[in-house]
Amino acid sequence: MSQAVRVNATIDQELLRRVDAFAAQRYEDRSTAIRQLVDFALRELHKRDAIEAYRGGRVTLRQFGEALGLDVWSAHDLLRAEGVAVAQGPASETKQSLRQVSEALGVTRRPVD
């Protein structure tokens, strides 16, 4: 962990009550609880933004995974868990990949159209 830096923030009493309750449930001090909550919130917001980018077609599955530090299969599983349809790519790309794999394996098949 990098060196800690002191910051001051102003929050309303209700939010402070909720932070203190979170800290008490986990037997943590207020400062640790705030660090944990900020870290969690930032990761969740990053994940949400990445999901929306994938859902909107702005990034590929691989790019989505890279943005979150996940391999392709973990990215696929995360999207499915979040209820996002995982695109399989255009049919032409799939056909080309099948041809390449078939050729590499020496499998002769009728052409896929």
Q: CA 87, CA 80: separation in Å to the nearest integer?
A: 11
Contact 86, 76 (CB under 8 A): yes
What is the maximal distance between C-alpha atoms in the chain? 71
- What pLDDT sits at residue 99? 79
Rounded to 5°, the CA angle 33-15-29 comes to: 25
Q: Where are the domains of the chain?
A: 13-88
- What pLDDT sits at residue 28? 96
Instruction: List, run by run, the mean pLDDT of 10-residue segments along the chain (113 residues).
Output: 87 97 96 96 97 92 94 94 81 71 75 55
Q: CA 27, CA 81: separation in Å to the nearest integer?
A: 31
- What pLDDT sits at residue 98? 73
